[in-house]
Amino acid sequence: MIALKDKSSGTVVGSVTIDGELVEFHQGETIYQVAERCRREVPTLCYDKRLEAFGACRLCVVEVEGIRNPVASCTTAASEGMIIKTKTKAVDKYRKTLLEMVASENRNLDIDALAGYASQELGTLLDRYKANNGRFEGKQSGESNEDDKNPFILRDYDNCISCYRCVRVCAEQEGDHAINVMNRGFHTQITTEFGNDLRDSQCTFCGQCVQTCPTGALTDKKAIRAKDLPGDISKTRSVCPYCGVGCAVDLLTKNDRVVGIQPAMDGPANEGALCIKGQYAFDFVHHPDRLTKPLIRQPDGNFREAEWEEALEAAAEGFTKVREKYGRHAIYGIASGRAPHEAAYMVQKFIRAGFGTNYIDNCSRS
Ligand code: SF4
Ligand code: SF4
Ligand code: FES
């Protein structure tokens, strides 16, 4: 028997057989969670492991011996002695048909990866199951709100498949309840209170709905601006410097230009969450007004450009004068939340080791 390490800190309560392999399961685990630990590739669309399982898309179906119809693995608890098959011809056919039905809701599969973290999930699954996105045609639900007057989120509900991940992440992760579901069937609509634009709602523009949307119906307006820039998208893991929480982010770049930010779903401090600043406030990096030369303040209060050597000498002279006249505690350093972490580290070292004072802070400390 394979005993797998469970990250979810459960107690082992029994065993199930998955595709012929005997594995332990833990208290409260679903079939999907056990299958995922065993590295079975069970497809999902409405599932986001940070959220309560919802059971809407049925794509995660598996066969369980003794149960006539396939069951949704994300909402079915594992129980002692279950014999589960995650991949059979019948299950694959079922999934393919479901995908073809979902695709009738969303026929635009040309979604750029810059749209959001999960934006290509539907397209990838359609390819994987060789599903025909034109098999079922008919009415679509949801009215687009593409002209929502906000600079961050494009809401194109023509691409919506009613998985409600956006609504659930807003409520369960952000605790905001800025969006919800209105009506049913073909009249289903993701909406704000009274159908207002997002900026007139409770929305904090954390971007979590965008990043969990599996179809690109919600798109990162800032990142998508770089869609036509040449080059591939690179992701670089970093930590947001704006406050002391330490949210892990992936910086999206094209040819050394930062074009967007996505939260790291495995970031220990944030698990895919960010605030508006961490998500969208990166324009300063390439802003044309950004200083490229050091400035020295003149006696009349104005600044003049200088070379680094001259500027460093002027700064050293100023610090020395203050320390000699008023003592080391007269010096107080403040690092910028827009500076790299290495620079913030150097500033505290400079103040502590250089002047012997702990009067050092960061503008974004929280
Ligand atoms: S951006 Fe955040 S607060 Fe606004 S609707 Fe999306 S999840 Fe909710
Ligand atoms: S907008 Fe996206 S996340 Fe929200 S229900 Fe539609 S497809 Fe799902
Ligand atoms: S992923 Fe299980 S029902 Fe959608």
pLDDT in tens, 76-103: 999 999 999 999 999 999 999 999 999 8
185 pLDDT band, cuts 50/70/90, is confident
- Structure confidence at residue 227 (pLDDT): 96
Helix (H) or strand (E) holding 180: strand 179-182
3 contacts 19 by C-beta, under 8 angstroms: no
Cβ(60) – ligand 3 distance below 6 Å: yes
Percent of the chain with pLDDT over 70: 97
Closest C-alpha to ligand 2, atom 2: 213
**How high does pLDDT run on average in the chain?**
93
**Per CATH, the architecture of 12-87 is what?**
Roll (3.10)
Rounded CA gap, 25 and 5, in Å?
Answer: 10
pLDDT of residue 8: 53
Does 274 sit in the ligand 3 pocket, CB within 6 Å?
no
Residue 293 confidence class, pLDDT cut points 50, 70, 90: very high
Query: Is 102-286 in CATH node 3.40.50.880?
Result: no
Q: What is the pLDDT of residue 137?
A: 82
Query: Contact 155/177 with Cβ under 8 angstroms?
Result: no
- From the CA of 249, how far away is ligand 1's center (Å)? 18
> Of 1-15, 57-71, 135-149, 196-210, which range is least confident?
1-15
Question: For 76-90, 116-130, 136-150, which range has the lowest pLDDT when averaged over its residues?
Answer: 136-150
- What is the reported pLDDT for 146? 78
Q: 347: Cβ below 6 Å to ligand 1?
A: no
Ranges of each domain in the chain: 12-87, 102-286, 295-362
Output DSSP code: residue 347. Answer: H
pLDDT of residue 144: 84
Closest-lying ligand to the alpha carbon of 105?
Answer: 2
Residue 134 confidence (pLDDT):
84
Look at 185 and 6; give whichever has higher pLDDT.
185
- Go through 189-223 and write b for each residue having 16 or more CB atoms within 10 A of its CB, e for each that does not: bbbbeeeeebeebebebbbbbbbbbbbbbbbbbbb
For 17-51, the pLDDT digits (tens) are: 999 999 999 999 999 999 999 999 999 999 999 99
Asked whether 84 and 179 are in contact (CB, 8 A), the reply is no
pLDDT tier for residue 6 given thresholds of 50, 70 and 90: very low
Alpha helices in the chain (DSSP H): 31-37, 89-103, 121-128, 165-172, 208-212, 221-224, 276-280, 308-326, 341-355
Phi, psi angle pair for 285, to nearest 5°: -60, -45
pTM over 0.85, yes/no? yes
According to the model, what pLDDT value does residue 4 have? Answer: 38
Q: Closest Cα to atom 8, ligand 2: which residue?
A: 163
Specify the amino acid at residue 315: A
Q: What is the pLDDT of residues 319-358, one digit of tens each?
A: 999 999 999 999 999 999 898 889 999 999 999 999 999 9
Which protein residue has the closest C-alpha to ligand 3 atom 1? 44
pLDDT at 210 over 90: yes
Ligand nearest to the CA of 274: 1
Query: Amino acid letter at 50?
Result: R
The minimum-distance atom of ligand 1 relative to the CA of 208 is 7
Asked whether 119 and 106 are in contact (CB, 8 A), the reply is no
Residue 365 to residue 243: CA distance in whole angstroms: 5
8 A C-beta contact, residue 32 and residue 86: no
Asked whether the predicted pLDDT for residue 365 surpasses 80, the reply is no
Give the distance (Å) from ligand 1 centre to CA of residue 160: 16
Return the amino acid letter for 262: Q
